[in-house]
Amino acid sequence: MTISLEQHGKPLLEGKVALLSGANGGIGLAVAYAYLASGAQCMITDLPQEPSAGVAALLGKYGDNVAYLHGDITDAETRHHLVTSTLSRFGKIDVLFNNAAIFDMGPLLESTEAQFDKLFNVNVKAMFFLMQDVAKTMVENQQGGKIINMASQAGRRGEALVAHYCATKAAVINYTQSAALALAEHGITVNSISPGVIDTPMWEHVDALFAKYEHRELGEKKKLVGEEVPLGRMGVPNDIAGTALFLASPLSDYITAQTYNVDGGNVMS
């Protein structure tokens, strides 16, 4: 079975404009591919000044239907610029794929305020205020819209070495619920996706940290977490893209305030 990119003979996201944060690679890039293939126009944003090879390929293939902007979304002026630039380029924002995030870990008793602030500034503060900025434009334009925040299975439980990251992703789930209730009257749905262990370049960093703090060989933790997934493997970015496409499309119009586990069976809720 393949993902249907059409509804009633038309591309599923025809006429829609999506703003995607943290989409220069990994999950964000896979979602950008899915949105563009389904007829959307996309503004892809991330921290690096230059687009990755994957984004460059999209720019070459989809031309005027896609653009790339770099910027640090922890900065309010940068968030404003990303939103206004998207509006200037494409005229509106129908979908926000709120994906930018960072990971860190370490023993609880050695945790620092700097580590706490860094994780919460990106994963919670920037996530919330980008969502707010985009929601304001949706409300002002009286157009409705779709907001998709990226949570994590880590937000479903605490972990001894991953306290701050788990807490940030729990906050994403909670803010998703609150925003969904606040924006429902405006026809805006807000949902989140909770991935499990997904094989992206970030996992090299994650695996190295686990090797350090759990005294493992490099690559050992990655192998173990993949084997422990009920479906028997780590996920890949395209495993997330299908759910992101569904939540951006008219197929999910009656769904809001939900967090979808896309984790091979790791979490049951």
Provide the annotated active-site residues: 165
Which DSSP string corresponds to 148-183?
A: EEE--GGGGS--TT-HHHHHHHHHHHHHHHHHHHHH
CA atoms within 13 A on the CB side of 103: 19
Count of residues in the chain: 269
CA-based nearest residue to 192, from 258, 117, 93? 258
Are residues 93 and 40 in contact, defined by beta-carbon separation less than 8 angstroms? no
Contact (Cβ atoms closer than 8 angstroms) between residue 180 and residue 191: yes
Taking the C-alpha atoms of residue 112 and residue 258, their distance in angstroms, rounded to an integer, is: 32
Helices (H), 49-126: 53-62, 76-90, 113-120
